[in-house]
Amino acid sequence: VVHPGAGNTRHTLQNALLALDPKLALVPRAGLVHRLDKDTSGLLVVARTPEAHAKLVAALAEREIERIYLAICTGAMTGGGTVDAPIGRHRTQRTRMAVRSDGREAVTHYRIVKRYRAHTLVRVQLETGRTHQIRVHLAHVGYPIVGDPLYVGRRRLPAGCSAALAAALGAFPRQALHAARLALAHPMTGRALEWEVPIPDDMAGLLAALDQDQQGV
């Protein structure tokens, strides 16, 4: 399990893993079992042998690996829910994904952690793992992730927000999405394993600004 900084691409991460352990050259994708979107922080699973990689990829396909994310969304949600909407490549903008009737099955569960005046911190659990799934699904239900360069549209400040919050929102450098928890069975022994990692400093700073704005500071 690794905790990459925001901005790592898969190619960069694979090179870093190979530098740490050259034997990973014998494992598909240098051991990476799944991907994080560019500029999403958090936890990843890395297998160190081809056998472990094959078993972990199979476990992921069978939905046996728990993946929990934290996201800061635009808009004040009234409750959690589940988005069950297929995802495919956008018909005209090839760098984007979209909800499409002919897309691949995609299911995302989300619940409110904290609601602010015009934003919401949510805990998201993936049932499937499509490209950009959380970002697409939250935008689809009207709560795009703060700072998302593809799905949030033009940045708008909430009415009456503090100068500190306006500055924090304007300066936030990426989508506010963090892979916070992983849980799985060890591919060889079957032993239950789990990891959690706190949100990074940039998201913590944004949440602090949201707290201050909520309190009228």
Q: What is the dihedral of CA 3, 61, 193, 49, to 10 degrees?
A: -70
Catalytic residue flag (residue 84)? no
For the record, the structure tokens of 97 come out as: 């994904």
d(CA 159, CA 67): 34
Confirm if 62 and 83 have CB atoms less than 8 A apart: no
Q: One-letter amino acid identity for 216?
A: G
d(CA 91, CA 89): 6
d(CA 134, CA 174): 14
> In which element (H, E) is residue 152 found?
none
Confirm if 119 and 75 have CB atoms less than 8 A apart: yes
21, 37, 102, 201: which is the annotated catalytic residue? 37
Task: Report the candidate in 39, 41, 38, 45 with the shortest Cα–Cα distance to residue 17.
Answer: 45
d(CA 14, CA 53): 14
35-65 burial by CB neighbour count: b if 16+ within 10 A, else e? ebbebbbbbbbbbeeeebbebbbebbeeeeb
Q: Which residues are catalytic?
A: 37
